[in-house]
Amino acid sequence: MTHLYEFARPALTVDIVVFGLDEEDLQVMLIQRDLAPFEGGWALPGGFVRVDETLDDAARRELVEETGLKDIYLEQLYTFGAVERDPRERVVTVAYYALVNLEGHHVQASTDARNAAWFPVSDLPELAFDHQAILDAAHERLRGKVRYQPIGFELLPERFTLRQLQHMYEVILDRELDKRNFRKKVLAMEIVKETKEIEKDVAHRAARLYRFDKRTYDRLTKQGFNFEI
Amino acid sequence: MTHLYEFARPALTVDIVVFGLDEEDLQVMLIQRDLAPFEGGWALPGGFVRVDETLDDAARRELVEETGLKDIYLEQLYTFGAVERDPRERVVTVAYYALVNLEGHHVQASTDARNAAWFPVSDLPELAFDHQAILDAAHERLRGKVRYQPIGFELLPERFTLRQLQHMYEVILDRELDKRNFRKKVLAMEIVKETKEIEKDVAHRAARLYRFDKRTYDRLTKQGFNFEI
């Protein structure tokens, strides 16, 4: 292969904002760095794009290597290219965000990573590089997207209560929702179907479990919907 | 500066989909290539990102160099990184889209460019590289975005008729809209204000001119709106 131009070219990385939802809060997965710069600091999982892999493949590879996560919802977010964002040299990063149901995935630090852990979005340590800005952009995208795509459902287990569903929207949108209104709107969308099951092993009165209607879900994801709550 | 890693790194470019609106159609600006590959073929304006400029700056610089356009609405779209998208070597491109009012801008091929011209989106020549896919993604983004941000107004002159406004939505969404319903919805949004002026030098009966309410516009752009038409 020829080189198209001789002058210096930026390095290219991917970084991934992995969101997970638990009973309390929206969580994000961070990796503790063991190399300078920001040694010992927390950062988003990510790494360099190889010359023979797509950007999506690079993001998936880094996720597995650094967090053990695979087969999760992953979407390109935005490409960050401020000139001084990495103190070592010019690095442009293609940011992704991923959504994972915390009930279904056991996350551990894999071979590549030093220390991987979940942090609540509302209470984060100082982040390396411009990773706080990347995380803010991902949260903003998520907040916007749940209004017109049923994307947030990726954060829930397969069977869920309407309380869990409402909690998810409240945590992402960062405001309380009226229970009656919420249920009315959700059920009217026909994206959520009642199952015959109820919760198990809970201290409170067991609630009905619901599931997604995959066909309605796919149709709405494609055409967009409007979920003003 | 040290090199972070020794192995080959992808080259990085920007490409810009410039949309313009005329009385007939949604137009896109293309550049005729005078170098291989795709010599003589049509392509989006764009070029390599320099190591000392941001991505936005690179997109703005390339736009001026290749089309003479400046001070127009510009937004990052998506980064395309298929491994074989450039036959010469691995090139990742950060795609942008730009909106320009064709009445207000005289577009000419500048020094860098061979031949620059507007083409209707509905009738394009074969494009170089994966530029058709980039253009499709930009059109899709525009189509989605006019539903929840008043972004399309960038395509109109400062004073416009409601007919022009409706035409813009029809061309972007690629379907006819009901005139009465459209006007009712637009005026209810309070984003469009009547002026005291009417059209000049037109063959048909001169229509009232409207303008944007900048404050409502900024507020709606920020919070998003829902314009189901």
Nearest to A4 among B7, B52, B89 (CB): B89
| pLDDT of A225 | 64
Is the Cβ of B49 closer than 8 Å to some Cβ of chain A? yes
Rounded to a whole number, what is the distance in Å from the CA of A108 to chain B's nearest CA?
27
Rounded to a whole number, what is the distance in Å from the CA of A196 to chain B's nearest CA?
36
Closest by alpha carbon to A23, among A161, A211, A185?
A161
Low-confidence residues of chain A, pLDDT below 50?
Answer: 1
Residue B50 has pLDDT above 90, yes or no: yes
Distances from the Cα of B152 to the Cα of A86, B100, B170, B173, B222, angstroms: 35, 10, 11, 11, 14
Which domains, ranges and CATH numbers included, belong to chain A?
11-145 (3.90.79.10), 158-223 (1.10.10.10)
B interface test, pick of A4, A130, A149, A228 with most B CB neighbours within 10 Å:
A4
Please answer yes or no on whether B49 and A92 come within 8 Å at the CB atom: yes
Residues in B closer than 8 angstroms to A83, CB to CB, are: 52-54
DSSP A57-68: HHHHHHHHHHH-
Side chain identity, residue B51: V
Residues in A closer than 8 angstroms to B142, CB to CB, are: none
Is the Cβ of A90 closer than 8 Å to some Cβ of chain B? yes
DSSP B83-102: TTSSSSS-EEEEEEEEEEET
What is the spatial distance between Cα B91 and Cα B75, in angstroms, rounded to a whole number? 21
Please answer yes or no on whether A48 and B92 come within 8 Å at the CB atom: no
Is the Cβ of B38 closer than 8 Å to some Cβ of chain A? no
ipTM value for the complex: 0.89
pLDDT single digits (tens) B136-182: 999 999 988 887 777 778 899 889 999 999 999 999 988 899 999 99
pLDDT single digits (tens) A109-129: 555 556 889 999 999 999 999
Structure tokens at A8: 């210096």
What is the spatial distance between Cα A28 and Cα A98, in angstroms, rounded to a whole number? 10
Percent of chain B with pLDDT over 70: 88
Q: Please, which contacts does B142-148 make with residues 24 or more away whose CB atoms are closer than 8 Å? A: B142/B19, B142/B97, B142/B99, B142/B172, B143/B172, B143/B173, B143/B174, B144/A224, B146/B172, B146/B173, B146/B227, B147/A148, B147/A224, B147/B226, B147/B227, B147/B228, B148/A147, B148/A148, B148/B224, B148/B225, B148/B226, B148/B227
Mean pLDDT of B170-196: 89
Is the Cβ of B226 closer than 8 Å to some Cβ of chain A? yes
Residue B90 has pLDDT above 80, yes or no: yes
Point out which residues pair with B46 in neighbouring strands. Answer: B15
Mean pLDDT of B181-200: 89
Residues in A closer than 8 angstroms to B88, CB to CB, are: 1-2, 4
| pLDDT of A162 | 93
- A225 vs B200: which has the higher pLDDT: B200
Please answer yes or no on whether B81 and A11 come within 8 Å at the CB atom: no
* pLDDT class of B110 with cuts at 50, 70, 90: low
Distances from the Cα of A111 to the Cα of A30, A63, A100, A108, A196, angstroms: 15, 12, 21, 10, 42
| pLDDT of B1 | 45
Point out which residues pair with B49 in neighbouring strands. Answer: none
Nearest to B89 among A2, A92, A94 (CB): A2
DSSP B96-161: EEEEEETTT------TT-SEEEEEETTSPPPBSTTHHHHHHHHHHHHHHHTTTSGGGGGGS-SSB-
Interface A-B: count of C-beta contacts within 8 A: 99
